[in-house]
Structure 1
Amino acid sequence: MGIFDAMGALFTLTAVFAYLNYQYLKLPTPIGVMLAGIVLSLTLLLLGGPAEAWARSLLTTVPLDRVLMQGMLAFLLFAGALHVNLEDLHRRWVSILTLATLGVLLSTFLVGTGVYYLASWLNVGLPYLTALLFGALISPTDPIAVLGLLKRAGVPKDLEVLISGESLFNDGVGVVVFAVILSLISGAEGHGTASASAALGFFLREAGGGLALGLALGLLAFYTLKKTDDYSVEVLITLALVSGGYSLASSLHTSGPLAMVVAGLLIGNHGRTLAMSERTREHLDTFWEMTDEILNALLFVLIGLEMLLIRYTPGYLELALLTIPLVLGARFLSVGLPISLLRRFRHFARYTVRLMTWGGLRGGISVALALSLPPGGDRDVILALTYGVVVFSVLVQGLTIGKVARIATR
């Protein structure tokens, strides 16, 4: 199957699923199209034959890990950051930074350690570093589907800022932590040097370099936007910023996700107020909102279809079912402990930890990181655990967060 044929099929499936969801299911679009993708995958697995072979060919031609990590993620993060108010973020920057760094590291350790002992108990046999690798890829949150529900439930603005701000930065931090642990595993397997100091240096170079690059690229784009008064050219400048900037970050071995978040925040705030006309702002917002919605729909369809690639061997299903409450418990602690410390200096609503725990959805980035692992070894068990947690997160947590928020905020 050629790339154009595959993309045409994927867009067609996404449009059909979105239409059926709009007409009948009435669910948030990401949840509805993902559910439709899962139903289609299960149907194809039951029927087999040419239809299943065609779907597998589609997933081979448009692999989720490459599509998301080498392109789609840049656009999604930039579009998300573009509409975040920097003043709101600044008021909560200590909390957001703590949750996006300490929270991710704590979650990685708790989930990894718990999965290691659960796997040993079920005789699955998972090395500790590999269990930590799973902890790193499952720790970043993805509130794409939940923010609209939180707004409709009347959740205070501060909590919305916490969830959106944390998710923007913990994606980048999670990817860096994942890369660090993967390098430690590679070093250990190759009997190379894999010291803690080297891992720390790698983390600082990736994260710090990504933040600095995003600021530099954002300032360059801001200058060119300020000198331009043609909305079509200005949209092209932002497209170049995202695509070219993400590619440059990869070449420089810095964090592309963090670079896109910083650039998006700069353009969405200072660029919007100081370098754009009203007409440009309107067209730019419309373009990036549509881009965000379309890419999210495509992403969640791909997640649903990826069930075709999951192999549940004996012990995997039991481990996946036990991992779901483990991840929720780790999320509760990794949010609750930092907020308990921060409460000495800042005010948090009494329901903050509960809503951030249940509203911390896992999504495409977790599945993409799991799929990016080389074939063989423990990839199958990691992929099975990741898919189980993501499906529960999106379908169960995503569909109930509105009701949970209304009950918690009474």
Structure 2
Amino acid sequence: TAEFIRLRSCMVGQGDPLHTLGSLATPKPTPKPILPGAGVKAQEEEQSSGMTIFFSLLVIGICIILVHLLIKFKLHFLPESVAVVSLGILMGGFIKIIEFHELANWKEEEMFRPNMFFLLLLPPIIFESGYSLHKGNFFQNIGSITLFAVIGTAISAFIVGGGIYFLGQADVIYKMSMTDSFAFGSLISAVDPVATIAIFNALNVDPVLNMLVFGESILNDAVSIVLTNTAEGFARDDNSMVTGWETFLQALGYFLKMFFGSAALGTLTGLISAIFLKHFDLRKTPSLEFGMMIIFAYLPYGLAEGIKLSGIMSILFSGIVMSHYTHHNLSPVTQILMQQTLRSVAFMCETCVFAFLGLSIFSFPHKFELSFVIWCIVLVLVGRAVNIFPLSYLLNFFRDHKITPKMMFIMWFSGLRGAIPYALSLHLGLEPIEKRQLIGTTTIIIVLFTILLLGSGTMPLIRIMDNEESQSRRKSKKDINLSKTEKMGNALELEHLSELTEEEYEAQIFQRRDLKGFMWLDAKYLNPFFTRRLTQEDLLHGRIQMKTLTNKWYEEVRQGPSGSEDIEDENELL
């Protein structure tokens, strides 16, 4: 009775005894009281978020100035990723000195958040890669690209992961489980395509081979993320009662579900966007048209993540399909706006990630083991070699454009690691914490090793390769340009701006006798179904729209402060 009275007195509502007994039998959670300092804490979090935004924008702004100086002074031999990472290292050291003297505390702002990368920074980068793809050569070489991207990445992941596991079992390096080793091998197999394409453009290689490597590099990122998620999922599950063969089959089934399910979802979203903008004409209102394109661009990522598929794989295939079909249903203004906006956003996201990669040297809690780092670098180089050379020799039996040993060596040498392995290493939820720190530190060192040493060695490699070529193919130093920003900013994709009437399209297909397989099926049936065939009236309206916008801009520029045209000043300037 005394205990009952004590419990009853603790209840918030003092009323009916039966109500009290019922409350004792099925206790209800009492609402948490609002603490007096909750508002102050929320205000402090808001101030911290504002400082983080300011710091990130400041870093991107400084990097943009750096890239501008590289272009202005024609330092084309230095890849922009190398310059931005170096700047991030210098900024991290400067911030560390400031924090040491207690002049400021930006430790929280300079820390890279993996969720921010996967939700905000990575989707624009992947979507722009698919959207800017030259679809003709891509679809003609889809078999070779898939072999390099899927089989090649899996080979590299197995070699790195298996090597780490067996070396750990032999007590040569830090001991890790099979799933953790394979997760690390998968994330470190993601290759940055920027330096690869820069080398191929500088050497003026065959455009089909250029597309082969570029397509493999794009799909490689998505495949690496799916493989890492597969290994991480098995690391969380308890598979102690499952044999090794059953584990392999389960992992293979999970990967196939993630790969093909995500690709199908992205493809379906892209096709729906094409049909929608073909029959729902928004060409006369470019702002609404552009807004709808942005929605369709990000839509498959959120849906795929919500149903436990790969958002990155989904948004990549959505970008490829939207570029191939949906883009041609847009007005000329929105076509140019979409292309340049994606390039600008992707550049800022890539720059932000590379800058924070340099900052992480001083902000990341490190665990360094020399033997682990050295063996990982060796395994990464060996895994890349086993990936490139055997598959290239195999493909040469089925290809008209052969991959020469010299090109194989360049493909192996240019296997740089970039932003995706770094972010994946921070996203792994491995236990204990020292294992996570070891993987993060090793990944940063490998990324910096490939970017700073191999990336900086691209110019000497090009020089050596040029000296071996004939005089007619030798390229001077001023012709070699490793600046991705300058090349992309000064070019408009002609295939993205082509507008054909029904008669012109039929005449073009009739002239293309070389189309085979999927390309013939696409040109004959799929493209006419998903894209709008324009009339002469539509073409005229598009030209008038572009001319009106450019004339308005030109007239406003020519207007003086008083509203009159300063033609005399203009002639004097000329």
Paired position in structure 1 for 2:313: 258
1:401 correspondence with 2:458: yes
Give the SS at the match of 2:389.
helix
State which of 130, 146, 152 in structure 2 corresponds to 1:81.
Answer: 130
CA pair 161-112 structure 1, distance change in 2 beyond 3 A: same
Deviation (angstroms), 1:131: 1.6
State the distance in 1 between where 2:365 and 2:274 align.
48
State the distance in 1 between where 2:341 and 2:215 align.
22
> TM-score scaled to structure 2, two decimals?
0.66
Where do 1:1-400 residues align within 5 Å? Answer: 2-23=48-69, 26=75, 27-45=78-96, 48-49=99-100, 54-60=105-111, 63=113, 65-119=114-168, 120-188=170-238, 195-226=247-278, 227-229=281-283, 230-272=285-327, 274-313=328-367, 316-346=369-399, 347-350=401-404, 351-374=406-429, 376-377=431-432, 378-400=435-457
CA pair 113-192 structure 1, distance change in 2 beyond 3 A: closer
Contact preservation (8 Å) 2:366, 2:441 = yes
Give the SS at the match of 1:254.
coil
Gaps (5+ residues) in structure 1?
none
Larger CA Rg, structure 1 vs 2: 2
Residue identity opposite 1:364 in structure 2: A
State the distance in 1 between where 2:151 and 2:104 align.
44
> TM-score scaled to structure 1, two decimals?
0.90
State the distance in 2 between where 1:287 and 1:161 align.
23
Give the SS at the match of 1:326.
helix
TM-superposition CA deviations, 1:212-249 (whole Å, max 9, x none): 11111101221233332033223222221232221111
Contact preservation (8 Å) 1:150, 1:405 = no
Residue identity opposite 2:83 in structure 1: G
CA pair 86-51 structure 1, distance change in 2 beyond 3 A: farther
- Greater alpha carbon shift after TM alignment, 49-58 vs 174-183: 49-58
State the distance in 2 between where 1:278 and 1:20 align.
32
Give the SS at the match of 2:347.
helix
TM-superposition CA deviations, 1:170-214 (whole Å, max 9, x none): 211111111111122222478789833332222122111111111
Residue identity opposite 1:142 in structure 2: D
Deviation (angstroms), 1:21: 4.9
Give the SS at the match of 2:457.
helix
State the distance in 1 between where 2:210 and 2:242 align.
44
CA pair 279-52 structure 1, distance change in 2 beyond 3 A: same
Give the SS at the match of 1:144.
helix
State the distance in 2 between where 1:232 and 1:149 align.
38
State the distance in 2 between where 1:307 and 1:55 align.
14
Gaps (5+ residues) in structure 2?
1-46, 470-574
Residue identity opposite 1:9 in structure 2: F
TM-superposition CA deviations, 1:81-126 (whole Å, max 9, x none): 1111111102211111001111011001111122334444544222
Residue identity opposite 1:333 in structure 2: V
State the distance in 2 between where 1:294 and 1:406 align.
31
TM-superposition CA deviations, 1:307-360 (whole Å, max 9, x none): 23444446x133213322321221011121212211111132312321211222
Give the SS at the match of 1:384.
helix
Size of the alignment, in residue pairs? 406
State the distance in 1 between where 2:100 and 2:454 align.
34
State the distance in 2 between where 1:121 and 1:14 align.
43
State the distance in 1 between where 2:446 and 2:289 align.
40
Deviation (angstroms), 1:165: 0.5
Which structure has more relative contact order (CA 8 Å, sep 6+)? It is: 1
Contact preservation (8 Å) 1:303, 1:367 = yes
- Greater alpha carbon shift after TM alignment, 206-215 vs 40-49: 40-49
CA pair 45-159 structure 1, distance change in 2 beyond 3 A: farther
CA pair 192-308 structure 1, distance change in 2 beyond 3 A: farther
Residue identity opposite 2:81 in structure 1: P
CA pair 209-406 structure 1, distance change in 2 beyond 3 A: farther
Contact preservation (8 Å) 2:396, 2:403 = no
Residue identity opposite 2:293 in structure 1: T
CA pair 38-118 structure 1, distance change in 2 beyond 3 A: farther
Contact preservation (8 Å) 1:355, 1:405 = no
Contact preservation (8 Å) 1:45, 1:52 = no
Deviation (angstroms), 1:17: 3.1
Contact preservation (8 Å) 2:300, 2:318 = no
Identical amino acids, percent of aligned pairs: 23
CA pair 53-321 structure 1, distance change in 2 beyond 3 A: farther
